[in-house]
Amino acid sequence: MFLCGSAEPGRDGVGDYARRLAGSLQRRGVVVHLVATHDDAVTELLDEVQYDQGSGVPTLRIPATVGEPARATLMLEKIKEAGPEWISLQYVPYSFADSGIPWRFAATLRKIVGLAKVEIMFHELWLRNLPARDVKGRLTGLLQQWVTLRICRTLHPGVIHAHIPFNQEELASHGLDVRPLPLFANIGRMDGVIGEITQRSSNAYRIAFFSRMETPPPVLRVVRDAAAWCTENGRTLEVALLGGGKAKVSAAADSIESAVPAATVLPVGYLSPEGVSAWLATCDLAISPIPRHSLGKSGTVAAFLEHGLPVISPIVKLDRAPFFQAALNELVMEHFDAVAVGRAKAALNEGAPIFENLQKITDRFMDDLKLEVPRVSRVAERSTKSE
């Protein structure tokens, strides 16, 4: 059973992650339930089936507005009804409390002790590395750390996972045994889906933004440098803005067109997964505004790499590797350099890095939890025995 904050499809990255992993496990014969404990997209309790590639995942969505005693009751009833062997807590502090300090939910989690074995997937930890003048942020971080470590001490998880080396190292410094579980792409590569709308001229050089459209000065500098290289080499620069709402795409387009007049901006916007894959297949390079050390927990960045695109990440806050696999770290650059981009693309085309796609992550997850297939819940097993 997966526990996450929200489960609104397409609007909550952690909920989408849990659903995709749950669906993949279902296709292996593992019975999986999903419980969204603080769902801010529903106003009433919703018991439904959500789907991933045709696999139905029973999903209970508890409104964020529900009081903690009622939340605990609803969650415990579902756990006892399903009788899972494992409970997987998909942890993000702000998913369980607007303040980012989920102390009430931490107390509720004490009630699941003994009902199942526990795995914790740490998507985020606590606020860290803030300037001394940010007193409120530093205090919030200390309280978040206290709650997070308290949850670990209370639940005694059999397995702890982290997406990025930075979080693994931080948890290990507190005496926790943490296993790496890289993030899979939120959009897998779908060969053979290129359509007329994605075609480009032979002299075009196309850069992709996907989902994250922020354009701070370091990002605009990369676009400007790429445009200068294109001008020097008789190429035309195209910037494809993929995914995101109209307002976000429009703001990014205005910012880029104003700062880099030589760039042709393609405000594509929302697309189906097949559409995103088709566009990415036509691009030469991707840009991400996510801090470099956090790239490994971005399904969007994983999608870039799976589609053969090197990634320029110009925002460097910490000197930490973004990925557990060294070959992937070499595909991330801070500045635009056409020669380095070409080398990275060649490495990608030659299959140098081993991509952690959904199937491989499912294998690793099952191995770490020692899940066997076919697996049924203990309730189903008791029902069978009683018959």
Predicted pLDDT of residue 18: 94
Reported as a pLDDT band with limits 50, 70 and 90, residue 193 is low
Bridge partners for 307 per DSSP: none
Average pLDDT over residues 215-239: 96
Reported as a pLDDT band with limits 50, 70 and 90, residue 132 is confident
> Domain residue spans in the chain?
2-184+361-381, 196-355
**More confident position, 244 or 58:** 58
Predicted pLDDT of residue 374: 58
Name the residue among 40, 79, 94, 89 with its Cα closest to residue 63: 40
| Residue 239 to residue 283: CA distance in whole angstroms | 9
Region of 203 please: left (phi>0), alpha (psi -120 to 50) or beta. alpha
Average pLDDT, the chain: 90
How many C-beta neighbours within 10 Å does residue 279 have? Answer: 26
SS3 content of the chain, % helix, strand, coil (to 5): 40, 20, 40
Reported as a pLDDT band with limits 50, 70 and 90, residue 379 is very low
Name the residue among 271, 249, 262 with its Cα closest to residue 198: 271
pLDDT(124) > 50 = yes
State the fold for domain 2-184+361-381.
Rossmann fold (3.40.50)
Encode pLDDT of 281-337 as tens digits. 899 999 999 999 999 988 889 889 988 899 999 999 888 888 888 888 888 999 999
Tell whether domain 196-355 is in CATH 3.30.160. no
| Residue 119 to residue 87: CA distance in whole angstroms | 6
Reported as a pLDDT band with limits 50, 70 and 90, residue 380 is very low
On the question of a common fold for 2-184+361-381 and 196-355, the answer reads: yes
| Residue 381 to residue 286: CA distance in whole angstroms | 49
pLDDT(196) > 60 = no
| Residue 305 to residue 149: CA distance in whole angstroms | 33
Reported as a pLDDT band with limits 50, 70 and 90, residue 345 is confident
Reported as a pLDDT band with limits 50, 70 and 90, residue 201 is confident
pLDDT(159) > 50 = yes
Tokens of residue 359, six digits: 């199937």
Q: In sequence order, which residues have a C-beta less than 8 Å from that of residue 247 and are 6 or more positions away?
A: none
In the chain, which ranges are E strands?
2-4, 34-39, 46-52, 55-63, 86-91, 117-122, 159-162, 179-180, 204-210, 236-242, 264-269, 285-287, 311-312, 332-333
Tokens of residue 96, six digits: 């369980």
Encode pLDDT of 31-42 as tens digits. 999 999 999 999
Predicted pLDDT of residue 192: 62
- To the nearest 10°, report the CA torsion of 340, 342, 344, 349: -170
| Residue 255 to residue 78: CA distance in whole angstroms | 48
Name the packing angle between helices 13-27 and 358-369 (round to 10°).
Answer: 80
| Residue 305 to residue 105: CA distance in whole angstroms | 36
| Residue 90 to residue 12: CA distance in whole angstroms | 12
Predicted pLDDT of residue 197: 59
| Residue 202 to residue 382: CA distance in whole angstroms | 64
| Residue 180 to residue 165: CA distance in whole angstroms | 8
How many C-beta neighbours within 10 Å does residue 200 have? Answer: 16
pLDDT(59) > 80 = yes
Opening angle at CA 208, ends 52 and 23, nearest 5: 10
The amino acid that residue 283 corresponds to is C
**More confident position, 312 or 359:** 312
Predicted pLDDT of residue 104: 95
| Residue 302 to residue 184: CA distance in whole angstroms | 6
Cut 0.95: pTM above it: no
- Give me the DSSP letters along 143-156: HHHHHHHHHHHHH-
